[in-house]
Structure 1
Amino acid sequence: MKLIMEKCPTDMCHASTLLKLDDEKFLIAWFGGTKEGNEDVAIWIARGNEDYFEKPAILAQSDEAHWNPVLFRINESKIIIFYKVGNEISKWRTMYRISEDNGESFGEEKELVKDDFGGRGPVRNKPIRLASGRILAPGSTESGIWKAFTDCSDDDGVTWKKSSEVEIRQLEYIEGERTVDKKDSSIPVSEQSFYGRGVIQPTLWESNPNEVHMLLRSTEGKIYRSDSQDGGRTWTDAYATELPNNNSGIDMIRAENGRLFLVYNPIGVNWGERTPISLAVSKDGGESWEKLRDLSSGDGEFAYPAIIQDEEFIYITYTYKRKNIAFWKIKK
């Protein structure tokens, strides 16, 4: 494990995303500032490898809070970075920038879906490209009952069409009531995050052409799942898996041999501790899981993972005590 910064340039950093640029270099992005949700929080990026990362630089900043960058490669040279902008999570907007030079520079900021408030495109985890060529971005909204969805693009990210919504049916939530009192949780998230109930922040995989699945963060002490048989246009209701969840981010990939690798906090308490952070594998399409190892444990927050792969290795980043970003390279 490597920490990518000698010293974080901001009071806190969180919610990393990573992309492999070439055999020797990665691009990592995250949000950082004085405190999650504050107006000075910006999108930061750093380039490097398992031995050395360059000094971080600001990619996007304004007089509003920035959140949850997501990197995705369109083709060999074209990369897109999505991120949220807005002080209220329930009304944030999705912005994006495009790099035409393999991540060396990024163009002007644009809005993904004009006049959208609530968040289109990927909310925290990376999109996937289906066998059909369609790009599927995992999204969600946080207003009252939390719901997930996918955004579909059949023109390489130029236009997007929202799928049916995914929710836990018959879930009750009283408007204005916290799911957990903030004073009872040590997790340093924005206070508005403690309102609402349901599933958010899906992570996706395709098992067969047009057969797509998502695992979801939830408020219910378990990771939930939903399935689609039509390339992500419509989805089943969310249903619980055997995996515990502490209402914190998860991410996964599907390897070429069909194995699924998941990074998560194995804590089954709503707003529970974000330690340890662990890597698990499924060899049966997500029906059962085996924990391979804890990546970090002990006091502190180890959370919000991102995971990608190449032919030989998987690569993982996650928040390390809100003071750094951890980077792993693991043989498959």
Structure 2
Amino acid sequence: MSLTDFSTINPDGQIHEDGPLAYAYLPAPTVQSHAANLMTLGNGDLGCVWFGGTQEGVADISIYFSTLQRLPEGQWAEKWSPAQQLSSDSTRSEQNPILYRHGEELWLLYTAQHAGNQDTSEVRRRISIDHGSTWSDPETLFAATEHGGVFVRQPPVQVGERLYVPIFRCATVPGQKWVGDFDDSALMVSTDGGATWTEQIIEGSTGCVHMNVAALADGSLLALYRSRWADWIYASRSEDGGLTWSVPEATELPNNNSSIQFVSMNDGRLALIYNHSQATEQTERRLSLYDEIDDEGLDSSVDGPVVFEPVATGEPGVQKAFWGTPRAPLTVAISSDQGRSWPARRNLEVGDGYCLSNNSREGLNREFSYPSIHEGQDGALHLAYTYFRQAIKYVRIDPSWVSAPEASDHA
């Protein structure tokens, strides 16, 4: 039985075995779940956060948290814990949560925006000192600026005395709704443990978002990016601990304007999870990520997907964000040369990846997306991702699965 043979989704958190794979659908009390992130907690348990509610952008979207216990013998529990709601702002859609271990503290970072207006987004933080059992009150860590909203997706990175939080800046033209045409990347930098921050803009990064930074075996830093243009995964590098970065350049791997994530493994290799998909001239596109909602919530006047053909700007070099490229297959890749090539690739999920609608209530959305990848203390790769926006699916694999001789479904 393959991972895609299930006609129903049962989000009960129960771990199932399927040959070399273990999987579960995380417990969720909401009709929509999206944007998972994983982290090993200070007590050895595995934590996962995501957002859930009616639909992305609606004010009932909140942050949820579940854990998988690491047993004293080193084995994993058979079931994820019930979901704990960690945010409750009734006026904003709270999205893109991240877990980060900062010394003895566990940080939860997440965004909060008005409806589908990412240019209003701010980044909030809660802190736990008991592995997520209790949390401090929410605080605004990075407020929206005159430039636009501040968004996060990828985990912070400590390099020497410098703590980097990758952000992307969501700008828009006055009088127009945000669609992502002008988004770019930056790092929020702290040298005092997070008490104060400065912004470091990544030059030449317009259209490159979700900056994912990891240290390489040679001491340099690699950043991989999602592309608003739905063309390629982009990469930039730093040889001086993050003080300066090369201009992002396209890699050999496609991107569909959807999230990616990679991790630097203990053996020096890199493991990446992404959608092996990109837009073509024949790809249908939608108006924006939020074309099914308005400032009050779900837009009752919208009946089905809104197919969109952008008007030419007439300005050379001006690109438009491309929304709607299928979010499938979901692929795991391994690099042995510090991210310069990714020869080992294997599809984890296959399907049509339909995402011209975010509607999970009626089963319209069929995407496998927004993956998280984390190397556990057990040496396994722990994966979590959006499954049809109806659930967060968790999968545990040995890294050798990616290039196993019996692999029959390669990207």
**Aligned pair 1:212/2:221, yes or no?**
yes
Q: Which runs of 5+ in 1 are unaligned?
A: 169-196
Change (3 A) 1:124 1:114: closer
- CA gap of 1:32–1:279, structure 2 versus 1, over 3 A, is same
Give the secondary-structure state (helix, strand or coil) at the position aligned to 2:207. strand
Runs of 4+ in 1 over 6 A off after TM superposition: none
| CA distance in 1 between partners of 2:396 and 2:201 (Å) | 36
Aligned to 2:342: 289
Conserved? CA contact 1:119–1:139, under 8 Å:
no
Per the normalisation by structure 1, the TM-score is 0.84
Residue 65 in structure 1 maps to residue 93 in structure 2: yes
* Corresponding residue pairs, total: 300
Secondary structure of 2:183's partner?
strand
Question: How much is the aligned-residue C-alpha RMSD, in angstroms?
Answer: 2.1
The separation in 2 between residues aligned to 1:43 and 1:135, in whole angstroms, is 24
Larger radius of gyration between Structure 1 and Structure 2: 2
Aligned to 2:30: 10
For residue 306 of structure 1, what is the aligned residue in structure 2? Answer: 372
Give matches, 1:1-332, under 5 Å.
1-5=22-26, 8-21=28-41, 25-49=45-69, 51-62=78-89, 63-75=91-103, 77-87=104-114, 88-113=117-142, 116=145, 118-120=148-150, 123-130=152-159, 132-143=160-171, 144-168=181-205, 198-207=207-216, 211-220=220-229, 221-269=231-279, 270=322, 271-299=324-352, 300-311=366-377, 312-332=379-399
* TM-score, normalised by the number of residues in structure 2: 0.68
Equivalent residues of 2:385, 2:392 under 8 A apart: yes
Q: 1:36 to 1:296 in 2, by over 3 A?
A: same
1:209 Cα shift? 7.1
Q: Distance in 2 between matches of 1:71 and 1:10?
A: 21
Cα distance in 1, alignment partners of residues 153 and 228 from structure 2: 17
Distance apart, 1:231 and its partner CA: 2.1
2: CA distance between counterparts of 1:266 and 1:9?
30
| Residues in 2 aligned to 1:103 and 1:64: alpha-carbon distance in whole angstroms | 23
Query: Which residue in the other structure is 1:180 paired with?
Result: none
When residues 114 and 86 of structure 1 are mapped into structure 2, their CA distance, relative to the original with a 3 A threshold, is closer
AA matched with 1:101? D
Report if aligned partners of 2:47, 2:67 keep a CA contact under 8 Å in 1.
yes
Unaligned runs of 5+ in 2: 1-21, 70-75, 172-180, 280-321, 353-365, 400-411
Counterpart of 1:280, as a letter, is A
Give the whole-Å Cα distance in 2 for the aligned partners of 1:285 and 1:214: 11
Once residues 276 and 199 of structure 1 are traced to their aligned partners in structure 2, the CA distance between those partners, rounded to angstroms, is 21
Q: 1:234 to 1:272 in 2, by over 3 A?
A: same
Q: Aligned-pair distance for 1:287?
A: 0.9
Code of the residue aligned with 1:235 in structure 2: it is: W
Cα distance, 1:74–1:313 mapped onto 2, change above 3 Å = same
User: For 2:157 and 2:26, how far apart are their aligned partners in 1?
Assistant: 28
SS state at 2:86 partner:
strand
CA distance in 2 between counterparts of 1:70 and 1:309 reads 16
Alpha-carbon contact 1:163-1:232 (below 8 Å) kept: no
Distance 1:66 1:14 in 2: 11
Taking the aligned partners of 2:203 and 2:384, their CA distance within structure 1 comes to 27
Query: What letter corresponds to residue 260 of structure 1 in structure 2?
Result: L
Percent sequence identity over aligned pairs? 30
Deviation of 1:22 (Å): 5.5
Query: 1:151 & 1:65 partners in 2: Cα distance?
Result: 22
